[in-house]
Each structure stands twice: as structure tokens, then as C-alpha cells.
């Protein structure tokens, strides 16, 4: 297990299941991403740069795509979710769709690869 799996193992119940689904979708979309750490968060890393990270707080779950441009690009699909410049907040009761996670991974991958 890597750092992302270790962090998820510390969670329980629906939050763990929800974040595991997000990470599984990201890994499926970019199987070449590896576990690492970025900004103190366990992250999936692509070509030495952070692809995304997930975290749980007392009030919500978070996805960090490490890019305000990526968040800006998917903003039309984020109705019902709160967000900040670098984070999308969601809950296990209102998870991110697989298609949305795949789009975030696709856009962030393009940034990393210099497209």
C-alpha cells in the first residue's frame, strides 16, 4: 500500500468508500500515476508533479487537483458543491461523479504534460 491507501485506511464508513472510489477512478484514468505527497497531502503524482489528492475533514471531503485552472474549467459542472481556488468539497451523500473525476484527471494530466 502507498501513502494514499494508507491515508484512506485511517478513515471509516461512507467517507472512506467515497474517497476510495475517487482514487480508484483517478488510478483507472491514469494508471501511470504513483503515490506521493504534495503540500503535506497524500497524492497521486504524474511525471513528478501532483495530479490530485483527497482528504476528509469533519465537515466535508475534498479533492485537490492542484490547479485553479482545472477547477475553473469544470466549474459549470460543480453546481451543488462548494469550492475554493484549489479545492472541491463534497460529501459521501453527494459524491463527485466518475465522469467529473475523469475530466479533472484528464485536464490536470494535460497541464502536467504541457499540452
What is the C-alpha separation between 13 and 15, in angstroms, rounded?
6
Q: DSSP 3-state assignment of 7?
A: helix
HSE-CB for 18 with a 13 A CA cutoff: 21
pTM of the predicted model, to two decimals? 0.94
CATH number assigned to the domain comprising residue 86: 3.90.1150.200
Write the pLDDT tens digit of every residue in 55-86.
999 899 999 999 999 999 999 999 999 998 89
- pLDDT tens digits for 105-114? 999 999 999 8
Shortest CA distance to 38 belongs to which of 60, 68, 7, 64? Answer: 64
Q: Can you tell me which residue has the cell 501532483?
A: 50
Domain tally for the chain? 1
Range of the domain at 100: 3-112
Q: Are the beta carbons of 60 and 67 closer than 8 angstroms?
A: no
45 within 8 A of 51, measured Cβ to Cβ? yes
Amino acid at each position: 500500500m502507498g501513502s494514499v491507501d494508507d491515508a484512506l485506511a485511517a478513515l471509516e464508513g461512507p467517507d472512506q468508500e467515497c474517497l476510495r472510489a475517487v482514487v480508484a477512478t483517478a488510478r483507472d484514468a491514469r494508471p501511470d500515476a504513483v503515490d506521493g505527497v504534495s503540500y503535506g497531502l497524500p497524492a497521486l503524482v504524474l511525471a513528478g508533479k501532483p495530479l490530485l489528492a483527497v482528504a476528509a475533514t469533519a465537515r466535508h471531503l475534498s479533492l485537490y487537483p492542484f490547479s485553479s485552472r482545472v477547477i475553473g474549467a469544470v466549474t459549470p459542472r460543480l453546481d451543488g458543491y462548494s469550492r475554493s481556488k484549489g479545492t472541491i468539497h463534497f460529501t459521501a451523500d453527494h459524491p463527485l461523479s466518475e465522469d467529473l473525476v475523469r475530466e479533472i484527471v484528464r485536464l490536470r494530466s494535460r497541464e502536467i504534460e504541457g499540452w
